[in-house]
């Protein structure tokens, strides 16, 4: 086994892996501090990720993709981290977090809607004023306030920062010919929040996840943004949420 430690969402995780690649992937987060918990990967974990991926491809009606064991191990590691983080009131959320003036905004949507494209518009509009926290799978710690954390798992373009930021709002993106934003209620946002949070198979862990989603929705502002790909969409979103 290959053993190294990483500081992720203010917790120290010791990763015991079969392959080296996951440690290269997480290298920006490496630490020598004492571990809060350990993640141990076996071949069975890798096989589970392969079967899950193949099933999802079948459901989506696309040819089954074939991934290396080392890549699937990276997925297995983050799955185990996500499930353990529930013990610390922290969830993995599928979305793109950008920060302006030290405050974070999370954009989420159905796959292919353009959340990464939208946060790219923020970086173009605000320049160095905007900080990309995580472009794909941030961790959110839910207490009296919500903190969004950068993680090594930050999307195919590796856009993210090893940082944390208070999260002010979650914005659900939809495509529209014109740019407009409106606040929405918990009830209006709930289905999308539930779709985008990591949902464990274990019943008790899922119950904890549902509790945390409720608290998340009570702790941040919720919005729906209809947007096109014009850079003015960033201005409309920021002005509507700031």
Q: What is the pLDDT of residue 229?
A: 85
Q: What is the pLDDT of residue 160?
A: 95
Alpha helices (runs of H) in the chain, residue ranges in sequence order: 21-25, 43-60, 69-85, 115-126, 186-196, 203-219, 232-241
Domain positions in the chain = 2-88, 90-241
Best CA proximity match to 171, nearest among 126, 208, 221: 221
Is the CATH number of domain 90-241 3.40.50? yes
Residue 67 phi/psi, 5-degree rounding, is: -110, 155
Q: What is the pLDDT of residue 55?
A: 93
Residue 98's Cβ-side half-sphere holds a number of Cα atoms within 13 Å equal to: 26
Each residue's pLDDT, cut to its tens digit, for the chain (242 residues) gives: 999 999 999 999 999 999 999 999 999 999 999 999 999 999 999 999 999 999 998 988 999 999 999 999 999 999 999 999 999 999 999 999 999 999 999 999 987 767 788 888 999 999 989 999 999 999 999 999 999 999 999 988 899 999 999 999 999 999 899 999 999 999 999 999 999 999 999 999 999 999 999 999 999 999 999 998 889 999 999 999 98
What pTM value is reported for the model? 0.95
Q: What is the pLDDT of residue 67?
A: 96
Q: How far apart are CA 208 and CA 211, in angstroms?
A: 5
Beta-bridge partner residues of 39: 15
DSSP 87: G
User: In sequence order, what are the residues at sequence separation of 6 or more whose Cβ sits closer than 8 angstroms to the Cβ of residue 166?
Assistant: 102, 103, 104, 145, 146, 147, 148
Best CA proximity match to 168, nearest among 151, 187, 147: 147
Q: What is the pLDDT of residue 156?
A: 85
Q: What is the pLDDT of residue 5?
A: 98
Q: How far apart are CA 75 and CA 57, in angstroms?
A: 16
């Amino acid at each position: 086994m290959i053993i190294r430690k990483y500081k992720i969402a203010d917790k120290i995780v010791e990763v015991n892996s079969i392959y080296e690649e996951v440690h290269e992937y997480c290298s920006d987060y490496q630490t020598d501090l004492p571990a809060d918990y350990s993640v141990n990967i076996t071949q069975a974990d890798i096989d589970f990720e392969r079967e899950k991926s193949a099933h999802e491809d079948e459901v989506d009606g696309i040819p089954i993709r074939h991934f290396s064991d080392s890549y699937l191990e990276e997925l297995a590691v983050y799955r185990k981290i996500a499930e353990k983080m529930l013990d610390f009131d922290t969830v993995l959320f599928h979305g793109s977090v950008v920060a302006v003036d030290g405050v974070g905004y999370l954009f989420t949507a159905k796959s292919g809607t353009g959340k990464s494209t939208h946060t790219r518009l923020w970086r173009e509009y605000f320049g160095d004023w905007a900080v990309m926290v995580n472009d794909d799978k941030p961790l959110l710690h839910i207490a009296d306030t919500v903190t969004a954390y950068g993680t090594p798992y930050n999307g195919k373009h590796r856009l993210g920062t090893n940082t944390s930021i208070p999260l002010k709002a979650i914005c659900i993106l939809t495509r529209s010919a014109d740019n407009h934003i409106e606040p929405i209620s918990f009830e209006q946002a709930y289905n999308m929040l539930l779709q985008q949070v990591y949902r464990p198979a274990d019943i008790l862990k899922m119950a904890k996840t549902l509790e945390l989603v409720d608290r998340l929705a009570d702790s941040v502002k919720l919005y729906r943004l209809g947007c096109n790909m014009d850079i003015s969409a960033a201005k409309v979103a920021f002005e509507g949420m700031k």
